[in-house]
Amino acid sequence: MNVIEAIQARKSVRKFKDEVVPKEDILKMLELATEAPSPKHQQNWNFVVLTNREIINKMADIVTESHERLGQIAKTEKDRKIHMSVIKYYTCFRNAPAVVMVYGSEYKMIEYKILKENDASQEVLDTLVSPQSAAQGIGAAVENFLLAATEMGYGTCYMTGPTHAKVEIEILIGFDKPGFELMSMIALGVAEENTAPKPPRKPLEEVVTFID
Ligand SMILES: Cc1cc2nc3c(=O)[nH]c(=O)nc-3n(C[C@H](O)[C@H](O)[C@H](O)COP(=O)(O)O)c2cc1C
């Protein structure tokens, strides 16, 4: 499989076979993830690999509870129901053989510091950070991981939905690295047969502009 074929074959997988993913395979995917570009090469990522089914499923319970708690903010029963209707989307990592937790730290921008010290307006400072470079670097690494996993015969799902429970998740898994926060997670395993197909894309005419 070449890179183009891996890009085309990758799709989000939310149901997995009960098969262990060997540690050396996960390490290979992570090594390839870290080949990604990152802003000023700060490599502001950190990965925590969970392979214990009990912990993974407890994490799904924690995300559900957190989602329910957030749902209490909704003022009507109808809104609470709509809020809860996406819970499967946030907990599809339940029963996955592995989940890779992706942590990120701040992108240190020297010019931000200089301009702030020189009393730049908040508008100028906001413009500097609006590309969210730290998050973009994390996304590049995750995509590399997904493509490597596809090439190696695994299914994945890139997820940010469960991160609202990051505080409770950190207590569960006992991970606390100062300066790092949970940005996303990747459900990983051998895909079940007949998982949902990749949804169609918007036509290029809708999303591309050439300026000659
Ligand atoms: C930043 C990001 C966050 C996502 N979060 C979730 C999530 O929380 N739960 C989920 O099931 N899928 C999540 N997805 C997967 C998308 O739903 C999926 O990529 C999209 O529907 C297109 O389908 P495909 O990946 O099969 O091409 C996320 C994808 C991205 C890029």
Complete DSSP assignment for 55-98: HHHHHHHHHHHHHHHHHTTSSSHHHHHHHHTTHHHHSTTTT-SE
For residue 11, the ligand 1 atom closest to its alpha carbon is 26
Strand pairing partners for 46?
Answer: 103
Q: What is the pLDDT of residues 39-79, one digit of tens each?
A: 999 999 999 999 999 999 999 999 999 999 999 999 999 99
* CA atoms of 117 and 111, how far apart (whole Å): 10
**Percentage of the chain exceeding pLDDT 70:** 100
Ligand 1 centre to CA of 151 (Å) is 19
pLDDT score of 15: 96
Q: Pocket of ligand 1, candidates 64, 66, 158, 169: which has the most ligand atoms within 8 Å of its Cβ, to mutate? A: 158
- The owner of tokens 């502009």 is 209
**How much is the average pLDDT of 2-29?**
97
Per the structure block, which two tokens stand in for 113? 């510091």
pLDDT at residue 154 greater than cutoff 90: yes
Q: In what order do the strands lie in the sheet with 180-189?
A: 45-50, 98-105, 180-189, 155-159
pLDDT at residue 195 greater than cutoff 90: yes
* CA atoms of 163 and 189, how far apart (whole Å): 20
Average pLDDT, the chain: 96
- Tell me the Ramachandran region of residue 35: left when phi exceeds 0, alpha when psi lies from -120 to 50, beta otherwise: alpha
pLDDT at residue 96 greater than cutoff 90: yes
**How much is the average pLDDT of 112-138?**
93
For residue 88, the ligand 1 atom closest to its alpha carbon is 11
pLDDT at residue 176 greater than cutoff 90: no
pLDDT score of 29: 98
Predicted confidence band at 117 (pLDDT cuts at 50, 70, 90)? very high
The one-character DSSP state at 202 is P
Predicted confidence band at 187 (pLDDT cuts at 50, 70, 90)? very high
* CA atoms of 74 and 82, how far apart (whole Å): 10
* CA atoms of 81 and 85, how far apart (whole Å): 6
Q: Is the CB of 195 under 6 A from ligand 1?
A: no
Q: Does domain 3-105+135-193 have CATH number 3.30.300.160?
A: no
Nearest CA to ligand 1 atom 20: 12
Q: For residue 173, how many other CB atoms are within 10 A of its CB?
A: 18
* CA atoms of 175 and 134, how far apart (whole Å): 20
